[in-house]
Structures are given as C-alpha cells and as structure tokens.
Amino acid sequence: MISPVRWNGPMDTAPTSRLPRRPTLSDGVVLLREPRETDVPAITAGAGEPSVAAYTTVPSPYAESDAVWFVDHVGESWAQSKAAHFAVCDASAPDQLLGMIGLHNIDLDGDPGGTAEIGYWLSSAARGRGLMRRAVRILSGWGIDELGLARIDWVAAVGNTPSRNVVQQCGYQFEGTVRLGMLQRGQRVDAWVGGLIASELIR
C-alpha cells in the first residue's frame, strides 16, 4: 500500500511560469525534488548507462556537459511552462539522485484539462525495488491535481517491457504500436504508446 502523497512546497504561481513553484513531492519512500548542479556526476553516470541510451532519447555517448546543459534546461523549461523535471531520490537519502522523471510537452490550454507526456530513467543499481512505480504515481498525481491534466501520454520504444510494466501498474492503458512513432537521435523507431486518463490513476 502506498501512503498518501505529501506536498512539501509552496504552491503559489511563479511569476514567469504557468506552472506552480516547484514543490518537493514524497510518498515517504520516494522523494522528487529539483535537479541541481551537484547532481551532474550522478546524471552523467545514470543517463550514460547503455540501457538508458537504448530506450530513451538522451544523447549517446552522454557527456558531463550534457548533464550541465540538462540542469540549466530544467529551470528554463519550467519557466516556459513546457516541462516539469524532477530528480528521483530515496526519501531517506534526498541528496543522492537515483534517476530522473519529468512531464514534457506540457499543454495547459485544453478545455477541459491539459496534456503532457511522461518520461523517466533509473540508474541500474536502483532498479527492481518499485521506486519508479512510486515516482510515476506521485508525478502523475501532481500533474492531475496541480496542473489540471486530463491525460498523460506514455511513448516507449517497442520492446521496453520494464517501462510498460511501470506505467501499467499506475493505471496507464496500453494503446498500441505506432510505426516509426519515436524519434531517437535522428532515427525513427517503432513506438509503443499508451496513456493515463485522470480518473484512472492508481494512487
């Protein structure tokens, strides 16, 4: 049983963004917080793992300068209301980044409700403990409750069963295969697609 999510931050609106000020989110086991400059070594190592390159659109090989750029981009894309990225941590060690999760392609103009796409990775040492499942539940709940999202898209390279398992455990529905539906470092690959309707989230 996952305990109720605690919102640990001010929820007023930032002056330059339609997103609220970035909160720290936690269910008591997993904690999601702002990625910082001190995370650069952990981001470089985690995003540089071959399994992350194989299934995501991160640069490969992944250099420290990519992580530096990413941490900058996180603040910028939040200010532009385009994306909400969070460092994934164990709640008992909130300074140690284990992975990354985010909502991107945020569109808040729908009526009723906006849309976004979820993405994530976890360093291999942190896998197999259900941490990402918790992180997806926490972030999806925040997106629905605080951003008013009506739907969250999930897109994965065909064959990414670990990712499919994660979202399905959170209430996302598998919706099919889109041929050449994913652009990965300049190459089109077939994609599995799915999504979460706000009322379907397993909290």
Ligand X SMILES: CC(C)(COP(=O)(O)OP(=O)(O)OC[C@H]1O[C@@H](n2cnc3c(N)ncnc32)[C@H](O)[C@@H]1OP(=O)(O)O)[C@@H](O)C(=O)NCCC(=O)NCCS
Q: How far apart are CA 9 and CA 6, in angstroms?
A: 9
Pair 66, 58: CB distance under 8 Å: yes
Nearer to ligand X, 14 or 29 (CB): 29
Which residues fall within 8 angstroms of residue 172, CB to CB, at 6 or more apart?
Answer: 152, 154, 194, 195, 196, 200
Asked if 132 touches ligand X (CB under 6 A), the answer is: yes
Q: Taking the complex as a whole, how short is the minimal distance between the CB of residue 16 and ligand X, in angstroms?
A: 29
Tell me if 128 contacts ligand X by CB under 6 A. yes
Return d(Cα 40, Cα 43) in angstroms, integer: 5
Give the interface size with ligand X as a residue count (CB under 6 A).
Answer: 21
Nearer to ligand X, 73 or 129 (CB): 129
Q: Is the dihedral of CA 135, 139, 144, 145 positive or negative?
A: positive
For residue 41, the minimal CB distance to ligand X (Å) is: 18
> Residue 133's closest CA among 94, 101, 96, 173?
101
Taking residues 38 to 67 in sequence order and writing x for each that binds ligand X by CB under 6 A, - otherwise, the string is -------------xx--xx-----------
Q: Which residues contribute to the site for ligand X (CB under 6 A)?
A: 51-52, 55-56, 119-122, 127-133, 156, 160, 162-163, 165-166
